[in-house]
Each structure stands twice: as C-alpha cells, then as structure tokens.
C-alpha cells in the first residue's frame, strides 16, 4: 500500500519537476534565450492554455449536473486568506513595499501552469473540467484582490484605478475567452438537443478535424509552460527579503493548502461530490506564486525583486508540499 501510494505521488509530481528543471538546464546551456522565452510565454498565454481550458470545459457532458456551490467554495480560500493575510501582515515588521508582494503571494497561484499540469496527472476528465470551470471565478477574483492589495501597501503616490479598463482587460484575457467559449458549447450540448436528447451541435462529430487540432494544441500547454517557467528562474541571495520569503513560504506552501484541503475533506461526508474537488483544491492552493505576480508588482508598485524571489522559493518548496499532500490524500483514499 505504501509503495503504491509513493509511486502514485512520484508519478504525479516528477513530470512537473523534471520539465521545470529541463527549462532551467536549457536556459543555462544557451538553448533557450530571452527572446524565445518571451515567445513561448506568448504562445502559452494566447493559444495553448486558452485551448486547454476550452477543451477541459468542453468535456463536461451537461451543465445540469454542475454544482455552483462547489465552484464558489473553490474560490472561497482567496477571500478567506485575503483577510487573514492583511491581519497577519499588520503584525509582521518588514518594508511596506514588500508587504504587497507577500500578501499577493497568498492569493495569486500559478495554477494555470503548474496546477493544471498537476491536476491532469492526479485527476480525471470530470475533475479537470471542474478545475477549468473554477477558473471563471479564480481569474477575476485573484486579479482584483492583487490590485487592491498592492494599492493598499503602495507607500508612494497612489495610481488611480480604472475599473472599466480592468473589466475590459478581463474579458480580453485569452484564458477567460477559452473558458467562456467552452461554457458556450457545453450550453449548446445541454439545451440544444433533438427529440431523442441528442445534441444538435457537437464539435467532435460535426468538425472532427477542428476538434483534433484543439485537442493536439491543448496538449502542448503544460510541457511548454513548465519548460518556460524553469527557463525564467534566477537563483540569487536577497538577504533583505528573508522575512518576506519565510512568511510567504509558510503560508503559501503549508498553511493555505493544508487549510483548504482539510475544509474540503470535512465537507465530503455531507456532500460526497466534494471529493471531486480535491484535485482542483490542490491545483489552486498548493501551486506556488504565479510568475505574472511580478508583472503586477511592476505595474502597481512594490518591490519587484522580492516578488521574483517569492516565485522562485515557493515554486521550489511546492514540490515538497504537493508531494506530501498527494501522499497523505492517497493513503486516506481521497485520490
């Protein structure tokens, strides 16, 4: 039993780690240069990940069985740890321009790159669809929280927030477009049916070549995203960021994922379907800080060097906490 669990956990986490290490190695050896990294990130953001989210959502047979309560619960941790994080940082002494990036690390995870890849190894088609549907809430909420938090902790002249621009940017986000397009076609499958309850429009049946292209391109998202992530790593000592790094690691790699997984497990006896939510909760809350958090800090104020270090350290240590979480959950029969 133990060795089966160990093998399952290793098979889940090692592909993620090895692809990140491959990206780091290729960058160090000169196979990948900065221009290529930027182009890889553009391809991931504009094409591969949107198609992956579309494909995962499209695998949902019908929306009639989707539990909205589960989706809202999956995003509840963002609100919970936004409040907890703000209170905690009031009592921790560190430069105020470091508090913004630290607080952002509590709620802005790299689930689009690492979480989705991980969920693919430990979940099923049904749980992958659930993760993609959760993205409809996670993306706007995490972005909104980041903007507010960084503005609160920005000690210099505040920039006026243009919420109309933020809304427009949200709907122009290719990842959101992919999710919404997937939901649209699932709605058609659910409600636009013949007398025999057969969907009138099915991509895989009506335009199989397009379906195969979407599926093929979606499969490139995870490996390329992880290789690009590894290529962006820069290891350096930043002594002035020790308090920020320790605080982020304790919360992001331990307190937050453990808390959300325990809450999910406690709900299973009364809501058995919440068992399907466990891969999603691992992907959302055990994933390290998002690389895009550095860009957010650059644009809204804060210490971007510290933000970069939080990405590196939480990514390195997430492999340990994710592995441990999968081991324990597998032994308890939840995976």
Q: What is the pTM of this model?
A: 0.79
3-state secondary structure of 287: coil
Q: What is the pLDDT of residue 156?
A: 45
Residues contacting residue 32 through CB under 8 Å, at least 6 positions apart:
23, 26, 40, 227, 231
Return the number of other C-beta atoms located less than 10 Å from residue 158's C-beta: 11
* Tokens found for residue 304: 């971007």
Residues contacting residue 200 through CB under 8 Å, at least 6 positions apart:
188, 192, 193, 194
CA distances from 69 to 74, 141, 198, 200 (A): 9, 16, 28, 29
2-331 CATH fold: Na+/H+ antiporter like fold (1.20.1530)
DSSP calls for 39-103: HHHHHIIIIIHHHHHHHHHHT---GGG--HHHHHHHHHHHHHHHHHHHHHHHSS-S-HHHHHHHH
Q: What is the pLDDT of residue 167?
A: 65
Residues contacting residue 99 through CB under 8 Å, at least 6 positions apart:
89, 92, 153
Q: What is the pLDDT of residue 237?
A: 60
Q: What is the pLDDT of residue 157?
A: 44
Domain spans, the chain:
2-331
Q: What is the pLDDT of residue 261?
A: 94
Q: What is the pLDDT of residue 110?
A: 80
Q: What is the pLDDT of residue 124?
A: 78
pLDDT tens digits, the chain, 335 residues: what are they? 667 777 877 887 888 888 888 998 999 999 988 889 888 888 888 898 889 888 888 887 777 777 788 889 988 999 999 999 889 988 888 888 888 889 888 888 887 777 777 777 787 777 877 887 887 788 778 877 877 777 777 654 445 555 665 566 667 778 778 888 988 998 898 888 887 878 888 899 899 999 999 999 988 888 888 888 788 777 766 677 888 999 999 999 999 999 999 999 999 998 888 888 998 899 889 888 877 677 667 666 677 788 888 888 888 888 888 888 888 988 888 88
CB half-sphere exposure, 82, CA atoms < 13 A: 18
71-88 confidence digits (pLDDT tens)? 899 889 999 999 998 899
Q: What is the pLDDT of residue 160?
A: 53
Give yes or no for a contact between 111 and 287, defined as CB atoms under 8 angstroms apart.
yes
What does the DSSP 8-state code read for residue 255?
I
d(CA 301, CA 194) in angstroms, rounded, equals: 55
């Amino acid at each position: 039993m133990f060795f089966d669990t160990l093998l399952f956990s290793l098979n889940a986490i090692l592909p993620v780690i090895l692809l990140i290490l491959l990206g780091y190695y290729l960058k160090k050896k000169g196979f990948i240069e900065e221009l290529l990294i930027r182009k890889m990130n553009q391809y991931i953001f504009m094409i591969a990940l949107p198609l992956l989210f579309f494909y995962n959502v499209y695998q949902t047979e019908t929306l009639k069985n989707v539990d909205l309560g589960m989706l809202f619960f999956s995003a509840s941790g963002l609100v919970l740890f936004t409040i907890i994080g703000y209170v905690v940082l009031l009592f921790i002494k560190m430069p105020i321009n470091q508090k913004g990036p630290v607080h952002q690390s509590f709620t802005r995870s790299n689930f689009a790159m690492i979480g989705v890849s991980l969920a693919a190894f430990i979940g099923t088609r049904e749980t992958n669809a659930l993760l993609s549907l959760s993205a409809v809430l996670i993306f706007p909420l995490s972005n909104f929280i980041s903007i507010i938090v960084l503005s609160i902790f920005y000690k210099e002249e505040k920039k006026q927030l243009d919420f109309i621009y933020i809304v427009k940017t949200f709907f122009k986000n290719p990842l959101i477009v992919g999710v919404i397009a997937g939901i649209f076609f699932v709605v058609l499958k659910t409600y636009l049916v013949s007398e025999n309850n057969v969907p009138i429009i099915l991509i895989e049946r009506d335009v199989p070549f397009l379906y195969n292209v979407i599926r093929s391109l979606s499969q490139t998202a995870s490996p390329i995203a992880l290789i690009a992530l590894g290529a962006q790593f820069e290891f350096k000592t930043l002594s002035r960021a020790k308090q920020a790094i320790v605080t982020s690691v304790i919360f992001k790699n331990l307190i937050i994922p453990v808390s959300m997984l325990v809450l999910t497990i406690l709900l299973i006896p009364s809501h058995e379907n919440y068992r399907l939510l466990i891969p999603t909760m691992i992907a959302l809350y055990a994933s390290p800080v998002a690389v895009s958090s550095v860009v957010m800090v650059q644009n809204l104020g804060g210490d971007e060097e510290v933000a970069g270090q939080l990405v590196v350290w939480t990514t390195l240590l997430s492999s340990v906490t994710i592995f441990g979480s999968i081991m324990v959950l597998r032994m308890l029969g939840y995976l």
